[in-house]
Amino acid sequence: MQFRAVKGMNDILPNEVGRWHRLEGEFRSLVALYGYQEVRTPLLEHTDLFARSIGETTDVVEKEMFTFERSRESLTLRPEGTAGAARAYVAHKQHGREPVSRWYYLGPMFRAEQPQRGRYRQFHQAGCEVFGDRGPLVDAEMIDMLCTYLRRLGISGIEVSVNSIGGAGAREAYRERLLDFLRPRAGSLSPHARDRLEVNPLRVLDSKDERDQAAARDAPSILEVLEDEDRAHWEGLCASLDVLGIAYTVDPRLVRGLDYYTGTLFELNATSGDLGAQNTLVGGGRYDSMIETLGGPSVSAIGFAMGLERILLAMPDDTPASVPRCYVAPIGAPAQHASLLLARELRAAGVTVDLDGRGNSLRSMLRRADAIGARLCLVLGDSELEAGIVQVKDLGQHTQDRVDRGQVVDRVARLVATGSRQIATQPSGDEP
Ligand code: ATP
Ligand code: MG
């Protein structure tokens, strides 16, 4: 009986993981420059947390959550990272420790969606949250940081869309305007959007259904009903983006899927690579009322989440060069034990070592050393042990040298560090 991975959940094999390390490493080092610190929250949370913060009438909560009962508690695999981070922020009274907190996270998320290219059931997000800064400077800085990140990974054709959905007042006013506009068009909406029209008309704007998109084409813009404070923030954001020289599109239809947003909303798309239809890499925005909704004080917040599988699809295929490796090939039992010690010493000196423990012929060990692209192969048999030396074969130069056992670690470490494939040709023992 063979097992398959669960639908929509992928293995990441060692030959792919180098690219993951690259994008994760770039992320961690860039956000650190902006003062973000990592937070790690559980993969499971109480279902209510997501219902409350993401919103009951969102796609995520309505149909995408992996939810199950355990000891009469309803638990859900996290579909996104903001709810857990906000819960932790409140639970640990973080607001009492510092006026502004900058947190980031990176890890798997779970949504029961129809799997397709760029859309999976277990996928990975990296995200940032800033608590306690009302913006708009921090909003613009966040977008700028994201552009820098994508550029550093070689992703081109980056498009930034921004919008503001204002505060509660503006949204209430807009709701009415939008309903006035959509009610006469309800007949042409998708059944799902029609059902939810009165509850959450804004979601029609975010629908991927062509019927909804067509009906919403000439809908009024929410920017028209912003209140003074919302407008000041919005203009502040646009001015800051201009100062930073970021080209952006104002998209009045950008409302995004999750209910918790207030004010600034943004998305980053890319045209490079192999993205296909799922070309939204990053979604983010301000959620100034969430902390209070979750029982905390009134603390403003802004964040984004980026889909790492989509980043990988957009990234050029420049697999990072592998580290120089050294292959240790022992012949016979005594040499095997001696090789265990030699390999340990080499690794302590920072050399990557593959020790062949299979007891195969020298020929087959050399073939294997070549196949993995090892730079050096160290051969050790009875006669080498007796003479107190190691044969060092340079697989690039096709040269070999007998090196004193006492000097071999130094010599190999130096060869690997300088990136040289050339083995020094002086006879062993004549080292300075
Ligand atoms: P979409 O409109 O594509 O469904 P979304 O609005 O549901 O996206 P968010 O919840 O804002 O997405 O998540 C932020 C980012 O996470 C997305 O822009 C995308 O890059 C990524 N993402 C979301 N869902 C998935 C998924 N099922 N598989 C892979 N990546 C995803
Ligand atoms: Mg979605």
- pLDDT value, residue 424: 37
Each residue's pLDDT tens digit, 363-387: 999 999 999 999 999 999 999 999 9
Is residue 259 very low, low, confident or very high in pLDDT (cuts 50, 70, 90)? Answer: confident
Q: Is the CB of 255 under 6 A from ligand 1?
A: no
Index of the ligand 1 atom closest to the CA of residue 206? 2
Each residue's pLDDT tens digit, 71-130: 999 999 999 999 999 999 999 999 999 999 999 999 999 999 999 999 999 999 999 999
List of residues 6+ apart from 347 with CB closer than 8 A? 353
Is residue 272 very low, low, confident or very high in pLDDT (cuts 50, 70, 90)? Answer: confident
- pLDDT value, residue 430: 35
- CA–CA gap between residue 324 and residue 320 (Å, rounded): 12
State yes or no: pLDDT of 300 exceeds 60. Answer: yes
- pLDDT value, residue 427: 39
- pLDDT value, residue 428: 37
Index of the ligand 1 atom closest to the CA of residue 113? 27
State yes or no: pLDDT of 69 exceeds 60. Answer: yes
- pLDDT value, residue 385: 96
Each residue's pLDDT tens digit, 233-253: 999 999 999 999 999 999 988
- pLDDT value, residue 324: 82
Q: Is the CB of 119 under 6 A from ligand 1?
A: yes
Report CA(222)–ligand 2 centroid distance (Å).
22
Mean pLDDT of the chain: 92
Per-residue H/E/C for the chain: CCCCCCCCCCCCCHHHHHHHHHHHHHHHHHHHHCCCEECCCCCEEEHHHHHHHHCCCCHHHHHHCCEEEECCEEEEECCCCHHHHHHHHHHCCHHHCCCCEEEEEEEEEECCCCCECCECCEEEEEEEEEECCCCCHHHHHHHHHHHHHHHHCCCCCEEEEEEECCCHHHHHHHHHHHHHHHHHHHHHCCHHHHHHCCCCCHHHHHCCCHHHHHHCCCCCCHHHHCCHHHHHHHHHHHHHHHHCCCCCEECCCCCCCCCCCCCEEEEEEECCCCCCCCCEEEEEEECCCHHHHCCCCCCCEEEEEEEHHHHHHHCCCCCCCCCCEEEEEECCHHHHHHHHHHHHHHHHCCCEEEECCCCCCHHHHHHHHHHCCCCEEEEECHHHHHHCEEEEEECCCCEEEEEEHHHHHHHHHHHHHHCCCCCCCCCCCCCC
- pLDDT value, residue 278: 79
Q: Is the CB of 307 under 6 A from ligand 1?
A: yes
Each residue's pLDDT tens digit, 182-234: 999 999 999 988 988 888 888 888 888 899 999 888 899 999 999 999 999 99
Report CA(111)–ligand 2 centroid distance (Å).
8
- pLDDT value, residue 432: 34
Q: Is the CB of 309 under 6 A from ligand 1?
A: yes
Q: Which ligand is nearest to the CA of 276?
A: 1
- pLDDT value, residue 309: 96
Q: Is the CB of 125 under 6 A from ligand 1?
A: yes
- pLDDT value, residue 421: 46
- Residues forming beta bridges with residue 104, ordered by sequence position: 38, 128
Q: Over pLDDT 70: what percentage of the chain?
A: 95
Pocket test for ligand 1, best of 125, 202, 282 (most atoms within 8 A of CB): 125
Q: Is the CB of 303 under 6 A from ligand 1?
A: no
Report CA(135)–ligand 1 centroid distance (Å).
25
Index of the ligand 1 atom closest to the CA of residue 280? 18
- pLDDT value, residue 257: 66
- Residues forming beta bridges with residue 401, ordered by sequence position: 392
Index of the ligand 1 atom closest to the CA of residue 278? 3
Q: Is the CB of 305 under 6 A from ligand 1?
A: yes
- pLDDT value, residue 319: 61
Is residue 307 very low, low, confident or very high in pLDDT (cuts 50, 70, 90)? Answer: very high
The C-alpha R_g of the chain, in whole angstroms, comes to 29
- pLDDT value, residue 321: 64
Q: Which ligand is nearest to the CA of 203?
A: 1
State yes or no: pLDDT of 330 exceeds 90. Answer: yes
Index of the ligand 1 atom closest to the CA of residue 125? 16
More confident residue, 160 or 197: 160
